[in-house]
């Protein structure tokens, strides 16, 4: 799977792309991540301007359509596969596990990271990207949101997680749209806090039933809204 990231701050991704899971997925050839600096598409003037003040007034600066659209068109042509285009914005559709599962079926995704007050509306009108938000809060730009999406998607690609770390039971996942059950490891006792007996008994049916029940209890207490979304 190929990701193309459009950003004014490509270096924000340095640490993230060189950490364990992403680094391994890239080394194994399961994912390619290409960063593109929007400023490289700015007019060849000393300031290489990419933003300007909003017509009608108001605070902040907008990323310009005449820089962004040619940038995206050039990047699109850098590979044969058409890219599914995503523009990160707090006004977008909320990213969730279902969207991650859906994106993981794409061969190529382009992520457009805004800064300042975002993009000129004509970027959206002309390129028709999917507008996606990672939550009801405002970040300083789309970069952390783009990393969130890459992180959620890449771990779903076959071969990225070992079998022993299968994501099927994860909270919100295909195998379990509810919250995950509690888990325990050694020691069996810590400061008088033990481990539920059922987990120590080796009865796999009983363990599965206990986990399913815990999953439902937790979801009811913390996120009862998830019951309405169950398939």
Residues near ligand ADE (CB under 6 A) are 88-90, 114, 133-135, 137-139, 141-142, 145
Among candidate residues 96, 101, 131, 170, the one labeled active-site is: 170
* Least distance CB 213 / ligand ADE (angstroms): 35
The number of beta carbons lying within 10 Å of the beta carbon of residue 74 is: 12
Phi, psi torsion values for 54, nearest 5 degrees: -70, 135
Active site residue 163: no
Q: What are the DSSP E strand ranges found in the chain?
A: 2-7, 32-37, 51-52, 62-63, 84-94, 108-113, 130-133
Question: Element (H or E) spanning 226, and its range?
Answer: helix 225-229
Q: DSSP character for 116?
A: T
Which is closer to ligand ADE, CB of 114 or CB of 210?
A: 114
- Cα separation of 185 and 213, whole Å? 20
* Least distance CB 95 / ligand ADE (angstroms): 8
Active site residue 170: yes
Which is closer to ligand ADE, CB of 131 or CB of 180?
A: 131
* Least distance CB 101 / ligand ADE (angstroms): 19
Among candidate residues 4, 35, 51, 90, the one labeled active-site is: 90
* Least distance CB 88 / ligand ADE (angstroms): 3
Single out the residue of 165, 153, 126, 118 nearest to residue 33, CA to CA.
Answer: 153
Active site residue 117: yes
Active site residues: 90, 117, 155, 170
């Amino acid at each position: 799977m190929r990701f193309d990231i459009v950003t004014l701050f490509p270096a924000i991704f340095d640490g993230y792309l060189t950490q364990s899971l992403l680094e391994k997925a890239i080394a194994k050839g399961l994912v390619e991540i290409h960063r593109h600096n929007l400023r490289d598409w700015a007019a060849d003037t000393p300031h290489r301007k990419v933003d300007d003040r909003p017509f009608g007034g108001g605070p902040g600066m907008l990323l310009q359509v005449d820089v962004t659209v040619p940038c995206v068109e050039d990047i699109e042509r850098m590979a044969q596969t058409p890219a599914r285009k995503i523009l990160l914005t707090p006004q977008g559709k909320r990213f969730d596990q279902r969207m991650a599962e859906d994106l993981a079926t794409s061969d190529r995704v382009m992520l457009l990271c805004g800064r300042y007050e975002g993009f000129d509306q004509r970027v959206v009108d002309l390129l028709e990207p999917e507008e996606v938000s990672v939550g009801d809060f405002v970040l300083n730009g789309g970069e952390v949101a783009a990393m969130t999406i890459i992180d959620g998607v890449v771990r779903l690609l076959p071969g990225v997680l070992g079998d022993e770390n299968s994501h099927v039971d994860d909270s919100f996942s295909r195998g379990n749209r509810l919250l995950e059950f509690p888990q325990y490891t050694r020691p069996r006792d810590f400061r008088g806090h033990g481990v539920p007996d059922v987990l120590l008994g080796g009865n796999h049916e009983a363990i599965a039933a206990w986990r399913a029940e815990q999953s439902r209890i937790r979801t009811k207490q913390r996120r009862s809204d998830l019951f309405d979304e169950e398939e």
